[in-house]
Amino acid sequence: MWGSNAREAHPIWFHHLLKGIQNGAKLYVVDPRRTSSAAWADVWLGLNVGADVALANTMAREIIHAGLVHQSFIERGTSGFEAYKASVEPYTLEFGSAISGIPVDVIRDAAHAYASADRAMICWTLGITEHHNAVDNVLALINLSLLTGHVGRYGSGCNPLRGQNNVQGGGDMGALPNKLPGFQDVDTVAHRVKFEHAWGRDIDPLPGLHLSEMIDAMDKKTLTALYVIGENPAQSDADATHIGHLLEHLDHLVVQEIFLTKTAQLAHVVLPAAATWAEGEGTVTNSERRVQRVRKAVELPGDARDEIWIMAELAKRLGYDWGHPSAEDVWNEVRALSPQLSGMTYARLEELDGIQWPCPDTSHPGTKFLHARLWEDDPSRRGRLAPFSVVHHAGPVEQPDDEYPLILSTGRRLESYNTGVQSGGYLSPLHRGESLDVSPEDARRLGIAQGDIVRVTSRRGTIDAPAHIDRGLRAGVVFMTLHFPDEVATNLLTINATDPKSGTAEFKACAVRVEPVRTAPSYSPARAETFAAAGDD
């Protein structure tokens, strides 16, 4: 597991991992923090924030030098090996160790264990992708899997754990600036013509803007109207002061939401919508590409409307009469235009409890894992070879310096979720609000005790938060979540340095300074006492 705290962010997936551990699987966790996931690891590799490519390339060089590459797979299924091999040559164990902070022996052990395993999988999450070089990080991990043949076979592969219940489905449906539904390219003529024919109108062949590009376009006033569906960018995006300013100065902002979020409060028009997972019909796609049915359990409250109804009515106002299609009607249109989803009728999704794509026809059982074609003997069935990619270490955009000596990383906790719009709706003893998590070493150096209010300052903003001393943190790294933006707006601190290839922002690393403000109020376990009294009645 690389840059993932699945024990808290994907708890039920972690149950399956724990079964693997009980069956003798070895777990290596690469993470700057010794997380509750890392607590289950045979080996924890506590690397410096942003040293991922350096570590992966160092492991690759060690695998190559130790003769542990999967030579026949490289020859059969990949391209670009020689250039890749040359590119990792400078990443000696000593060099990788110096950059990553992980001892030489530990890197060597991890490299040998991964390469020698009968089956091995690399799973990652936002620890890999929330960096300014996110795509390079991913490519560095893919390189390792190609090098060792741990891809395209049951029990191996590269597995990005999706963080939201339909982030995969959004991609499936073409909610990407360069894709049509079913991951068909908007700039591929055959794909585009098929949709133009079905929809009876031309489609702009130029890819649209992704989120970060939209933010730039708002800044340049080339984007002046925004329609936001179920997202809270005023609080979820990096450098929140800047984002808030841009949203406030749009000519027109429409927000379709289930709550009056901070973003909705800035809108000219709010369209109250269904919480479709419980109030409507449709599908979502989970992290294993399994398309699953969501169903209506309760009625919509107040003026809220079904999301397909809202879009159909919007279309009507714009001069297009779509009628009022059901979720299944819409899905059948998706199936008709997306070969990899064609076999998934609502009836089959029901019967099989979800189906993993590709599922090209109604007799196809779905596909457990991808890229098996790379192992085919017949070159025509093997298709395009998987390319090695040359990628190099480039640490975080902001490096610690005298003025901002600590690296702030952000992430999730078990009981909460994103900006708290959903997870703020219930109480639990685990909800402890926002804190600045700090290592015992830094706390001692800065004179901070548990619960003290500290001031955290980056080049973009300043916030106050209670300190939480976390023995899982190494000196030099502090940690916060984005879960309680109304109490502590963490994103005032984060940096809007984005990956040019994917547009993701570097939520995992910005430089900050921490100063004590005042000591903690004396501890008062008021809630526990309230419950004790109730229990005694």
Partner 1 sequence: MSLTIDGRKVSVREGTTILAACREIGIEIPTLCFLETLHPINACRICVVEVEGGRVLVPSCSRAAEEGMVVHTQSSRVKHSRKLVLEMLASSVDLSTTPQVAEWIEEYEAKPERFGPPAPPAAPGTRDASVPGHHAPPNPEFAATVAEPAKIDNDLYVRDYAKCILCYKCVEACGPDHQNTFAIAVAGRGFDAHISTEFAVPLPESACVYCGNCIAVCPTGALMATTEYEKRAAGTWDESRMTTTDTICPYCGVGCTLRLHVDDGVIVKATSPLENSITQGNLCIKGRFGWRFVQNRDAVPGGNGAGNGDGR
Per CB under 8 A, contacts with partner 1 among 248-267 are 258-262
* 109 vs 415, beta carbon nearer partner 1: 415
**Could you say which of 168, 338, 435, 504 contacts partner 1 (CB under 8 A)?**
168
Cα distance between the two ends of the chain:
48
Kindly state the tokens that stand for 437: 């998590």
- Strands 510-518, 28-30: pairing kind: unpaired
Using CB under 8 A, which of 130, 279, 306, 506 touches partner 1? 279
Closer CB to partner 1, residue 167 or residue 394? 167
Binding string to partner 1 for residues 85 to 104, with x set by CB under 8 A, is what? --------------------
**Amino acid at position 357, single letter:** W
DSSP symbol at 177: T
CB of 277 to partner 1, least distance (A): 4
Question: Binding partner 1 by CB under 8 A: which of 33, 61, 70, 290?
Answer: 290
Identify which of residues 89 and 486 has a Cβ nearer to partner 1 in the complex: 486
Q: Which two tokens stand for residue 74?
A: 């490289």
Q: How many CA atoms lie within 13 A of 161 on its CB side?
A: 22
Q: Strands (DSSP E) along 332-374, which ranges?
A: 355-356
Note whether 263 and 234 are within 8 A (CB).
yes
* Number of C-beta neighbours around residue 377 at 10 A: 7
Q: Measured from the CB of residue 280, what is the shortest distance to partner 1 in angstroms?
A: 9
Instruction: Please report how close the Cβ of residue 429 comes to partner 1 at its closest, in angstroms.
Output: 4
Question: SS3 letters for 237-265?
Answer: CCCHHHHHHHHHCCCEEEEEECCCCHHHH
Between 38 and 497, whose beta carbon lies closer to partner 1? Answer: 38
Side-chain half-sphere of 150: how many Cα atoms within 13 Å? Answer: 26
Residue 526 within binding range of partner 1, rule CB under 8 A: no
Under rule CB under 8 A, residue 11 binds partner 1: yes
**Which of the residues 292 through 351 are near partner 1 (CB under 8 A)?**
292-299, 301-302, 304
> What is the smallest separation between the CB atom of 382 and partner 1, expressed in angstroms?
30
Stretch touching partner 1 by CB under 8 A, among 107-115, 357-365, 393-401, 483-491: 483-491
**Does position 164 bind partner 1 by CB under 8 A?**
yes
Shortest distance, position 166 Cβ to partner 1, whole Å:
8
Q: What are phi and psi of 122, to 5 degrees?
A: -110, 120
One residue of 124, 484, 503, 511 binding partner 1 per CB under 8 A: 484
Residue showing tokens 């490096």: 399
Catalogue the E-assigned strands of 275-329.
282-285, 290-294
When asked if residue 288 is in the footprint of partner 1 (CB under 8 A), the reply is yes
Q: Classify residue 454 by its DSSP letter.
A: E
Q: How far is the CB of 480 from partner 1 (least distance, A)?
A: 16
User: Which residue of 167, 229, 310, 394 would you call a contact of partner 1, by CB under 8 A?
Assistant: 167
Binding mask 486-505 for partner 1 (x = CB under 8 A): xx------------------
Which listed range, 46-54, 106-114, 273-281, 511-519, lies at the site for partner 1 (CB under 8 A)? 273-281
Point out which span in 11-19, 56-64, 311-319, 391-399 binds partner 1 (CB under 8 A): 11-19
Closest CA to 486 of 434, 425, 410: 434
Give the Cα separation of 13 and 9 in Å (integer).
Answer: 9
9 contributes a contact to partner 1 by CB under 8 A: yes
Q: Which residues contact 262 (CB under 8 A, 6 or more apart)?
A: 232, 234, 235, 419, 485, 486
Beta bridge partners of 486: none
| 162 touches partner 1 (CB under 8 A) | yes
Our measurement of the distance from residue 210's CA atom to the centroid of its chain's CA atoms, rounded to an integer in Å, reads: 15
Residue 436 dihedral angles phi and psi, to the nearest 5°? -95, 110
Residues 18-37 interacting with partner 1 (rule: CB under 8 A)? 18, 22
CB atoms within 10 A of CB 245: 12
Give yes or no for residue 61 binding partner 1 (CB under 8 A).
no
Which of 213, 328, 415, 441 is in the footprint of partner 1 by CB under 8 A? 415
CA gap 145, 158 in Å, rounded: 7
Angle 98-101-102 from CA coordinates, rounded to 5°: 105
Between residues 243 and 284, which has the closer beta carbon with respect to partner 1?
A: 284
CB of 275 to partner 1, least distance (A): 5
Rounded least distance, CB 527 to partner 1, Å: 7
DSSP symbol at 340: G
The span of 90-98, 101-109, 191-199, 275-283 binding partner 1 (CB under 8 A) equals: 275-283
Alpha-carbon distance of 61 to 68, in angstroms, equals 10
| Residue 217: both structure tokens together | 């376009």
- One-letter amino acid of 432: R
Q: Is 3 near partner 1 (CB under 8 A)?
A: no
Is the Cβ of residue 166 or residue 494 nearer to partner 1 in the bound state?
Answer: 166
Distances (CA, A) of 143 to 108, 147, 347: 17, 6, 40
User: Least distance (Å) from partner 1 to the CB of residue 124?
Assistant: 13
| Number of residues this chain uses to bind partner 1 (CB under 8 A) | 74
Instruction: Tell me whether residue 148 or residue 418 sits nearer to partner 1 (CB atom).
Output: 418
Pick 183 or 417: Cβ nearer partner 1: 417
3-class DSSP state of 74:
helix
**Binding test (CB under 8 A) with partner 1, winner from 414, 446, 453, 517:** 414
